[in-house]
């Protein structure tokens, strides 16, 4: 988290969102209309094809029956109708001739190809090749303009097989198919128009929550981050989007509040040593002093400058630990070596502090290897050890640092027997510049544990603090072990 001065951040949505919403609405309407159009087109094609073939088969059967009637009339007229069943069949077929068909012609061919009889119109139609000698059934030709040629073989006892051929045009089917095409085309057009209008209306209704959410997003600024999108309690996709955006606003609000607090507290902490430096220099300029007096002023100024340097370094480290993890160089590190380095540095800074190191590493995997940034992890361990020394000053019990490996993780536990802290203070130890009431007399700025917390987050680890007032504090750092 960086302090960058005054926040001037505003969440806005481009006016182009209206065009985007409209384009989505139009796209949904067109897609819906296209789906319905394809469905209706396939259904209409199915109806048309079914009608085309069913009407064709019906007309072909009618023409085939008429050919049988002509054959009955021609051949049975030469012989008496003595058989009762024969007479009934003849009467049944004869009733089908009450209505003639358009452009109808029936011919009876002898086995040698001669035309024995011709009924209906007299034309020069040619007999389809191969029909005279073939025994395949059925014999049928259907042309594109609904013209039919139907042939049947008629057997006469004692005379042989004769070929009866009938020609006609299915005018009724032509008319009905034209009507059907018109009805289907008009129905498809009307359905497309109604589907497009309905799709446009329904898409607008479906996108209404989205437009409302976009308007609410555009009205939220950095100065009213407490506002949230409505409609986030549903189960649909828009509600999930609103819920996700509200979660984002929660994180942004926390970040903004934390940044404002950080800038305010950092400014306050930086002002203290600067005020000391300026005051000492102003007092030194008011009157002449001896060498010892000037040396005293310089020592006070130097102490304040060192305090200012330590505070600035801490702020820079917090800013660095808040960076994008992908931008921080990481490499394999031996955590036991970092602990030894930190122990040596703390002993140099606090020579009277006793720190006992315990290594509880398994014999089969004694190397506590982690992946991290050396400078940041060393700073984290230093902060924890130095805090333990500062807050246990005056006690006879040593600080105990235990390095252990458990379940694929490396843990460093630092336990002291110092002043400890209350539960209310413990819950705020990761807030930058926070200091407990019983720590006011201990040198520091309240950025050690917040910095360590951020470093652990950056490395995918964790930090836990357990403490009781007057009973000491235990800080545990955990990092994933590098396999």
pLDDT tens track, the chain, 483 positions: 333 333 344 444 444 344 444 577 788 888 888 888 899 999 999 999 999 889 888 888 888 888 888 887 777 765 554 555 555 665 565 555 556 678 888 888 888 888 888 877 777 888 888 787 776 666 888 887 888 888 888 888 878 888 899 888 888 888 888 999 999 999 889 988 888 888 888 888 877 777 777 777 777 776 777 777 776 677 777 778 888 888 888 877 777 776 676 666 566 556 767 877 888 788 777 777 787 877 888 887 887 787 677 667 666 666 665 655 666 778 899 999 999 988 988 888 888 889 999 998 887 767 888 988 887 888 889 889 988 888 887 787 899 999 998 888 899 999 998 888 888 878 878 776 666 666 665 666 677 788 788 888 888 899 999 988 888 899 999 999 887
What is the phi/psi pair of residue 161, to 5°?
Answer: -100, 135
Peptide bond into 138 cis (omega under 30): yes
- Of the candidates 341, 456, 481, 330, the one whose C-alpha atom is nearest the C-alpha of residue 404 is 481
Sheet holding 160-169, edge to edge: 115-120, 105-109, 160-169, 147-156, 139-142
How far apart, in whole angstroms, are the C-alpha atoms of residue 372 and residue 300?
39
Distance of alpha carbon 123 from alpha carbon 120, whole angstroms: 9
- Provide the sign of the torsion angle of the four alpha carbons 193, 199, 202, 207, taken in this order: negative
**pTM beyond 0.75:** no
Regarding beta strands 409-416 and 473-480, do their DSSP bridges make them parallel or antiparallel, or are they unpaired? Answer: antiparallel
205 vs 197: CA distance, rounded Å: 12
Cα–Cα dist 345/476, whole Å: 20
The CATH number of 237-321 is 1.10.287.130
Residues of the chain with CATH 1.10.287.130: 237-321
Chain-centroid distance, C-alpha 164:
71
Half-sphere exposure of 25 (CA within 13 A, CB side): 20
What string of H, E and C letters represents the secondary structure of 292-338?
HHHHHHHHHHHHHHHHHHHHHHHHHHHHHHCCCHHHCCCEEEEHHHH
Q: Between 3.40.50.10330, 3.40.50.150, 3.40.47.40, 3.30.565.10, what CATH number should domain 327-480 receive?
A: 3.30.565.10
Tokens 């034309």 identify what position? 123
Parallel, antiparallel, or unpaired for β 399-406 and 355-360?
parallel
Q: Take residue 437 and report the two structure tokens written for it.
A: 């009431």
Nearest CA among 124, 117, 125 for reference residue 143 = 125
Q: List where CATH 3.30.565.10 sits in the chain.
A: 327-480
Identify the helix (H) or strand (E) that includes residue 23.
Answer: helix 17-76
pLDDT of residue 415: 92
- Report whether 420 contacts 472 (CB < 8 A): yes
Identify the pLDDT of residue 340: 92
Contacts 24+ apart (CB under 8 A), 188-195: 188/37, 188/40, 188/41, 188/44, 191/36, 191/37, 191/40, 192/33, 192/36, 192/37, 192/40, 195/32, 195/33, 195/36, 195/37
């Amino acid at each position: 988290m960086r302090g960058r001065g005054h926040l001037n951040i505003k969440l806005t949505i481009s006016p182009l969102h209206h065009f985007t919403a409209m384009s989505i609405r139009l796209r949904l309407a067109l897609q819906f209309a296209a789906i319905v159009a394809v469905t209706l087109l396939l259904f209409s094609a199915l109806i048309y094809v079914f009608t085309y073939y069913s009407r064709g088969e019906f007309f072909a059967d009618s023409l085939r029956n008429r050919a049988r009637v002509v054959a009955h009339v021609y051949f049975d007229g030469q012989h008496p109708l003595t058989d009762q069943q024969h007479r009934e069949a003849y009467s049944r077929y004869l009733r089908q001739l009450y209505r003639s068909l358009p452009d109808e012609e029936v011919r009876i061919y002898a086995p040698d190809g001669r035309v024995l009889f011709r009924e209906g119109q007299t034309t020069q139609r040619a007999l389809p090749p191969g029909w005279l000698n073939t025994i395949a059934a059925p014999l049928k030709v259907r042309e594109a303009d609904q013209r039919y040629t139907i042939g049947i073989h008629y057997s006469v006892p004692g005379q042989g097989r004769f070929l009866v051929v009938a020609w006609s045009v299915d005018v009724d089917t032509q008319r009905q198919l034209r009507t059907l095409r018109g009805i289907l085309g008009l129905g498809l057009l009307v359905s497309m128009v109604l589907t497009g209008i309905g799709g446009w209306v329904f898409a607008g209704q479906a996108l209404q929550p989205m437009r409302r959410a976009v308007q609410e997003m555009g009205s939220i600024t950095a100065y009213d981050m407490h506002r949230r999108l409505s409609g986030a309690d549903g189960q649909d996709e828009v509600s999930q989007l609103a819920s996700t955006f509200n979660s984002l606003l929660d994180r942004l609000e926390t970040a903004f509040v934390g940044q404002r607090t950080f800038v305010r507290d950092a400014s306050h902490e930086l002002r203290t040593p600067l005020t000391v430096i300026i005051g000492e220099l102003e007092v030194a300029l008011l009157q002449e002093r001896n060498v010892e007096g000037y040396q005293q002023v310089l020592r006070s100024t130097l102490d304040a400058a060192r305090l200012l340097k330590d505070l600035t370094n801490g702020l820079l480290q917090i800013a660095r630990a808040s960076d994008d993890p992908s931008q921080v160089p990481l490499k394999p590190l031996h955590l036991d070596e970092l602990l030894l380095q930190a122990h040596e540095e703390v002993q140099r800074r606090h020579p009277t502090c006793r720190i006992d190191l315990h290594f509880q590493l398994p014999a089969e995997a004694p190397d506590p290897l982690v992946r991290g940034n050396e400078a940041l992890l060393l700073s984290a361990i230093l902060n924890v050890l130095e805090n333990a020394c500062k807050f246990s000053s005056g006690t006879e019990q040593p600080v105990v640092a235990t390095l252990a490996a458990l379940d694929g993780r490396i843990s460093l536990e630092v336990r002291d027997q110092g002043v400890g802290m209350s539960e209310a203070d413990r819950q705020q130890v990761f807030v930058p510049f926070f200091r407990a009431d019983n720590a006011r007399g201990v040198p520091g700025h309240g950025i050690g544990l917040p910095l360590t917390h951020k470093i652990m987050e950056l490395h995918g680890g964790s930090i836990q603090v357990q403490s009781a007032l007057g009973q000491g504090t235990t800080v545990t750092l955990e990092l994933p072990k590098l396999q």
